[in-house]
Structure 1
């Protein structure tokens, strides 16, 4: 029986290494990895002595001749930062491996590289092996340096540098593609934004085609140039925008997916903030992990990798048998049939709702589709509110000129706020942009606060800001469906907490608080009008004040040093707080203790701690103010 040629693979226990060991059936395959296993010898690529011991064990059992050494072992992460392991494993590790192989007969050293070492091209201008080496971030930089090491230290070994495109198959994909699929599947707002040219893209490579390329390289090891470099991947780079439309159609059955171009400075700033700040995100979209988009990715968003694979065809007799376009339907089918498994296979943390559904054994895709249908129906019934809010925005923008405010700050504030409310309200006519409703509500809050911050000169300005802002806030987030509610919370769960006889969020519990807040708002707003100079006095039936002071007791208090210490009218601040109590009390259903617990917490903070502050002011009145 003729002895099979031997092939040595580093990183043999990994996903690609294991598949390659099965693919090379015509060879005796020996593996190197961090731990011993069937046909695999343990070694540490960062330790020269460890490499030599492993190779000696192989030599004693299999001899010192290899048809090929396929070097797969490498360090990789998607942080973009220059981790020391890039140098220790990818560069120095490759050098130590080459040094140790000098005493062995190696017919071809094959290195698993990346197309990202090349300078990107442009649509219609594919890159080839002669394209300049110009890597942009830590991983391809380390791979390019490793290739320099190979050129310098290969000795008598012929070598082949395979510059591979991004890998995928029917179940998994490179992180960038997997993340793009995840964002669209979850309807993450970021799935509608991109910071680069929407017509650029990158080549991909099916796992089976990659295995074919390695197998052909081993088979043709003696026919290749001694210093061969070959690009391997699909020649077409599907444009990002087209990929978005394909995925949206396959996942959601939608043909009109909109992707907006975000200016790079804005996208980079957002990515930096997400990376540095601890995110506080609704459980519906919480990933439980660091944000994927990093500032370095924003810088490279325009990079285009379309490949000229004529060299692979000529030297390896290789061309891809698969295409990303043809495989995407099967990828999406696998995702929708078992979302939890797809997340696990692609190294992604599933969102909270998906984890809960998986633990309960329910159909995650059915729950997602049902929740989406209910949300869309409720949103359609509430479109009147957003049209009305757009009208409120128009009124705010025009009111300084119609009513006549007299103050430049209030005039500019209301005009800008009105335009923002109009724009935001028109955007949220799309149910996909429902979270923008909170931004519109935030503008409404600013409109309520602006007369206090600018010490509005006219009663009309205060009245308009106070009431218009309240209406904008209410129309934005008090109508159904409440934005930001998780799929699980919206789809199932009790209305009454376990161990309770009633719901703490029931309307019977909220209405008394709202009614008291309305009374408090009316009183506080009246006092604020006096502090702002809109009325000459305050009606006071109980406390006449000091005989030597013409002011009554209430007027003495709200013009005291304690009151004037605030940068805004303190009665107006109280009125604003009562307004928020009213508005927050109106948001959500009787189950909001479960569906919107953060809102219940805010409601409680406004009632209890701020109530303590009010009592404190009452206590200090006779002590500090003498009234």
Structure 2
């Protein structure tokens, strides 16, 4: 099978490419930056998803599409680019896929379409109302609607996957990582919030700085610690394969992520034992992050079996951190 993977230079796209090539598929990557990959069975088109010419070239001879590429940002200045990539780019890709006779189109959506940070009930299932409250979530919701339009039109088989938060295990204990740095380490969190322009929050965090590197246990304004899903990239790849291959997936919408949510107090205690850093507790303004999303539908209907629990991820993260420290 020849598969187009958008976002091929990204974390999930790169791993998906590795997996499909290993099992014998032919892969064409598409991203705004070159992957530098040189492998039998792989070629790529460098370009934006809203560039109709580049998309038409990428779609030539393709049987299936994994549309993983997206622009994610919390900065207001990035909204035009985010809507161009995630909305107009998805429209261009869908139209080109229909024109090219693609058989299956798998769309990477997000739990932000619900939204997970303000759930009406728990656990969040695929039947939860779609009430996106972030610009990124809105772009994904609009993308879903366009996918459903093509599905109704009979353009191809479509599968919508609402992605959990995803990380490579080795990122968990890396202060410099994009997600885990500011999520679990105090000073990277200060830098992140200052970069967002949230000066009041940055000062609140700075006031808790013990004068040495520290972890942060974030709680909401009522003192409730955060809870969320953290899914290993390898489990996401398993889910993508099922969406690509299983006949039962056609026309479906599935939450793709870890089975159990992560409670931050227990996780931070384990992280602290590995790093030796103290854990600083800070109550932040707002409702905070606290949710549980059900993957039962994907497990029941497609046989999804996530293997990388947060415990297994943390063991690998500790090994990766030790290796970095030895350098």
What TM-score do you get using the length of structure 2 for normalisation? 0.77
Deviation at 1:184, TM superposition (A): 7.9
Alignment equivalent of 1:43, drawn from 27, 31, 47: 47
Alignment equivalent of 1:129, drawn from 101, 113, 126: 126
- Distance in 1 separating the partners of 2:282 and 2:48: 47
CA RMSD of aligned residues (A): 2.9
Q: How does 1:312-323 map to 2 (within 5 A)?
A: 312-323=298-309
Would the aligned equivalents of 1:107 and 1:157 in 2 still touch at CA under 8 Å?
yes
Deviation at 1:200, TM superposition (A): 3.6
**Which structure has more strand as a fraction of its residues?**
2
1:158 equivalenced with 2:160 (yes/no): no
Alignment equivalent of 2:28, drawn from 30, 44, 63: 30
- 1:59-103 deviation digits (Å, cap 9, x = unpaired): xxxx3x50x210012112243665211110000100011111222
- 1:431-489 deviation digits (Å, cap 9, x = unpaired): xxxxxxxxxxxxxxxxxxxxxxxxxxxxxxxxxxxxxxxxxxxxxxxxxxxxxxxxxxx
Would the aligned equivalents of 1:123 and 1:304 in 2 still touch at CA under 8 Å?
no
Query: How many aligned residue pairs are there?
Result: 289
1:224 equivalenced with 2:249 (yes/no): yes
Over 3 Å counting, the alpha-carbon distance change for 1:329 and 1:187 in structure 2 is: farther
Structure label with greater radius of gyration: 1
- Distance in 2 separating the partners of 1:123 and 1:241: 24
Would the aligned equivalents of 1:110 and 1:160 in 2 still touch at CA under 8 Å?
yes
Deviation at 1:20, TM superposition (A): 0.9
- Distance in 2 separating the partners of 1:144 and 1:105: 24
Would the aligned equivalents of 2:218 and 2:283 in 1 still touch at CA under 8 Å?
yes
Deviation at 1:240, TM superposition (A): 2.4
- Distance in 1 separating the partners of 2:50 and 2:121: 42
Which protein has greater RCO, CA pairs closer than 8 Å, 6+ apart?
2
- 1:22-72 deviation digits (Å, cap 9, x = unpaired): 1012322222233666411233312223322443xx3xxxx3x50x21001
Would the aligned equivalents of 1:198 and 1:241 in 2 still touch at CA under 8 Å?
no
Over 3 Å counting, the alpha-carbon distance change for 1:134 and 1:30 in structure 2 is: same
Q: How does 1:167-182 map to 2 (within 5 A)?
A: 167-173=166-172, 175-182=178-185
What TM-score do you get using the length of structure 1 for normalisation? 0.42
Counterpart in the other structure of 1:249: 273
- Distance in 2 separating the partners of 1:122 and 1:187: 36
- Distance in 2 separating the partners of 1:330 and 1:21: 22
1:205 equivalenced with 2:202 (yes/no): no
Counterpart in the other structure of 1:238: 262
Q: How does 1:70-109 map to 2 (within 5 A)?
A: 70-79=66-75, 83-109=79-105
Stretches of structure 1 lacking an aligned partner (at least 5 in a row): 265-298, 340-362, 365-627
